[in-house]
Chains A and B, each alone.
Chain A
């Protein structure tokens, strides 16, 4: 088995408002099917309860995110993906579903610091006020010119995923948005 490499080799940039880091290879499984049919298998495979609409359930190095009415994203350490897929295929034998390892298809970024919310607000048309978006939610949206999704991790920093093919573009626009000082648009920001 070849060694998994993140697309940018752990690129980091420290702006005045926030820090942007590309994270090492993250295990990711896309699971599609009727939510009611796949719930038990998800719990068996990853040990977490099912997220409801737009939710992400996080515990340590694992998470389950609601991506659409018939799609979940399972996050886990890269080395646990095969075991997860095996459990899913056993539990879902005979159930209409799709479970695919998409770890290598994506790039993952961490955006931390007092200006993290502003960094995303500069690039995404989503409502990023703390009242509208907080921990426990996953938002799929547009990051400048590419699709992306983000959530808030257990430490209060933002995690963002996008397609691997646009990792450099995403990193560059994130760093550009993080370069300037925060303007204080979200004074009550709770990100660390």
Chain B
């Protein structure tokens, strides 16, 4: 069971209060992109064992989308942050590096 802090409400949310939205920071291909690039945008996902960035929606609360960094194996949560960013913020990256020195960064 995951417990994530909604960065808009500042409150810890149970996983069942949230709606999962898949991988975060997926960049849309196109218009004008190749079929391969658009296919990759639609279907290619990281699915790592370890550090992962995800979209979550505070569905039973404020209704806002936010982003979370967690470990898919240990379920450790490194932090959550507002969705108005295309990259994980510095403090999130620092929190991950502090706990996972071997992490190679986002692919």
Contacts and interface: CB of A to CB of B under 8 A. Distances in A.
Interface of A: 53-54, 67-69, 71, 125-127, 139-142, 147
Interface of B: 8-14, 16-17, 59-64
A126 B13 CA distance: 7
Contacts of A139: 11
B51 to A, nearest CB: 26
A68 B100 CA distance: 34
Of B17, B59, B60, most A-chain CB atoms within 10 Å: B60
Interface of A is mostly: strand
B103 to A, nearest CB: 30
21 contacts: A53-B10, A54-B9, A68-B8, A68-B61, A68-B62, A68-B63, A68-B64, A69-B8, A69-B62, A69-B64, A71-B62, A125-B16, A125-B17, A126-B14, A140-B9, A140-B60, A141-B17, A141-B60, A142-B17, A147-B59, A147-B60
A185 B11 CA distance: 22
A31 to B, nearest CB: 15
B60 A67 contact: no
A69 B83 CA distance: 14
7 closest A-B pairs (Cβ-Cβ)? A125-B14, A68-B62, A140-B61, A142-B60, A147-B60, A69-B8, A142-B17
Nearest to A140: B61
A33 B89 CA distance: 27
A48 to B, nearest CB: 21
A67 B16 CA distance: 19
